[in-house]
Structure 1
Amino acid sequence: MTENITIFTWVTVCCWVLFCSYWLLLRNKTLKNIQGRTARQRYLGTLGYVLIFTLLYLPLFVHGGFAGRIIPAHYLLQGIGALICMAGVGVCIWSRTILGRNWSGGVTAKQGHELIVEGPYRLVRHPIYSGFLTALAGTCLVTGGLAAIIVTCIYTLALCLKINDEEVLLRDVFPGTYEIYQQQTRKLIPFIW
């Protein structure tokens, strides 16, 4: 087991601890939701993150099968993965900082909601998601597990559905303005999509 845990593994763990700590620090520093999240929604959100992180790091503790490593534990791949994870978490934190009090864990409008179009929001409409998916992909390169890759793919699909819901909400909250913003920026990947 310990031979699977490299410096690159620790780099990704530190990145995710930083990510989670920053989100916890700012969780109550947001504008009031117009429609609050239910206890069930909060519980399922937390459970989702526990599941994601468990499956990301499972190959370090379980060998073979669904949990086993399918990406070789090569130092170059792991180093690239750690750098990608660091970049992704950095984008998440930068984006969350710029979004400020307008952030919400669910798809909901805020009282006094503002449309943020600066910083990373000049390039993509959902940079927190872009950064999170980037960090997940980097972590997959480091841990190399089939389960990690599958959960990352499933999470990406679920996130695309959430983005569609968010964009409908934002078009309603910022009629006309959000459509112009959509035409000027990409959804998740700068200059591409």
Structure 2
Amino acid sequence: MPGPDLLHRMVGSGLLVIGGGLNAWALAERDRRSTGSFDLERPEELLTSGPYAMTRHPMYVGWWLIHLGAGTLTGSSWVVVTLPVGMLMDHLGVLREEAALLEAFGRPYAEYEKRVHRYLGTRSRRR
């Protein structure tokens, strides 16, 4: 990547911290709201608080920030290829997840979908 190594390290480190913090916050919110044993793949209830009030998929956003941060930190231009491919693959999984969430939670999920961005700054809904 072009630019000074110090800038790469500063920006990359910041993105890693933000992405890791977002993931930790999302996990903590899920754990806090779980009444039984915590199972990330089988939510007991629809979460709309904490980071889930900003994005319907905070952990994906967090991982993308970590991915971008790691590439930037190391100055690797490969991140411009690997991040979009990873995001596309994750997005395909998100579409399946959203269909399952709609089936599991019905109208409350449909309303949540209308209020909260899928990712940061994108209001996309299933069609």
User: How far has the Cα of 1:84 moved from its partner?
Assistant: 1.2
Q: In the alignment, does 2:44 pair up with 1:137?
A: no
- TM-score, normalised to structure 1, is 0.56
**In 2, are the aligned partners of 1:126 and 1:187 still within 8 Å (CA)?**
yes
How many residues were matched structurally?
Answer: 116
- Given candidates 87, 91, 99, the residue that maps to 1:160 is 91
User: How far has the Cα of 1:114 moved from its partner?
Assistant: 1.0
- TM-score, normalised to structure 2, is 0.83
In structure 1, the partner of 2:40 is 103
List alignment gaps of at least 5 residues for structure 2: 32-37, 123-127
| Equivalence map 1:117-128=2 (5 Å) | 117-128=48-59
Deviations 1:58-79 (A, max 9, x none): xxxxxxxxxxxx3445202320
Q: Give structure 1 regions of 4+ aligned residues with deviation exceeding 2 angstroms.
A: 70-74, 146-149
Larger radius of gyration: 1
C-alpha RMSD of the superposition: 1.6
In structure 1, the partner of 2:11 is 80
Distance 1:77 1:143 in 2: 7
Is the alpha carbon distance of 1:102 and 1:123 closer, same or farther for their aligned partners in structure 2, counting shifts above 3 Å? farther
